Amino acid sequence: MTIAPLLVAELAVLGVGTGFLAGLLGIGGGMLMVPFITIILGHRGVPSDLAVKMAIATSMSTIMFTSISSVIAHHRRGAVRWDIVKRLSPGIVIGSLVGSLGVFALLKGSALAILFALFVGFSATQMFLNRKPKPTRQMPGTAGQLAGGGAIGFLSGLVGAGGGFISVPFMTWCNVAIHNAVATSAALGFPIAVANVLGYVASGLSVQDLPAGSIGYIWLPALAVIAVCSFITAPLGAKAAHSLPVSKLKRVFASILYVLAAYMLWKGLRG
pLDDT value of position 213: 87
Structural domain spans, the chain: 5-270
94 vs 73, residue with greater confidence:
94
State the pLDDT confidence band at 137, using cuts at 50, 70 and 90: low
150 vs 159, residue with greater confidence:
150
Mean pLDDT of the chain: 81
State the pLDDT confidence band at 74, using cuts at 50, 70 and 90: confident
pLDDT value of position 91: 94
State the pLDDT confidence band at 159, using cuts at 50, 70 and 90: confident
32 vs 184, residue with greater confidence:
184
Give the pLDDT mean for 98-102. Answer: 82
pLDDT value of position 85: 93
pLDDT surpassing 80 at residue 1: no
> What separation, in Å, do the N-terminal and C-terminal C-alpha atoms of the chain show?
28
DSSP labels for 62-83? Answer: HHHHHHHHHHHHHHHTT---HH
Give the pLDDT mean for 257-264. Answer: 79
Rounded to 5°, angle at Cα 99 from 98 and 102: 75
pLDDT surpassing 60 at residue 2: no
Give the pLDDT mean for 178-199. Answer: 88
CA distance 104 to 162: 16
Give the pLDDT mean for 13-38. Answer: 76
Question: Is 28:162 a contact under the CB 8 Å cutoff?
Answer: yes
pLDDT value of position 89: 93
pLDDT value of position 223: 93
Instruction: Return the percentage of the chain with pLDDT > 70, whole number.
Output: 85
State the pLDDT confidence band at 131, using cuts at 50, 70 and 90: low
- Return the top range by mean pLDDT from 30-39, 65-74, 204-213: 204-213
DSSP labels for the chain? Answer: ----HHHHHHHHHHHHHHHHHHHHHS--SHHHHHHHHHHHHHHTT--HHHHHHHHHHHHHHHHHHHHHHHHHHHHHTT---HHHHHHHHHHHHHHHHHIIIIIHHHS-HHHHHHHHHHHHHHHHHHHHHTPPPPTT-----HHHHHHHHHHHHHHHHHHT--SHHHHHHHHHHTT--HHHHHHHHHHHHHHHHHHHHHHHHHHHTT-SSPPTTEETTEEHHHHHHHHHHHHHHHHHHHHHHTTS-HHHHHHHHHHHHHHHHHHHHHHHHH-
pLDDT value of position 241: 75
pLDDT surpassing 90 at residue 82: yes
pLDDT value of position 132: 55
State the pLDDT confidence band at 158, using cuts at 50, 70 and 90: confident
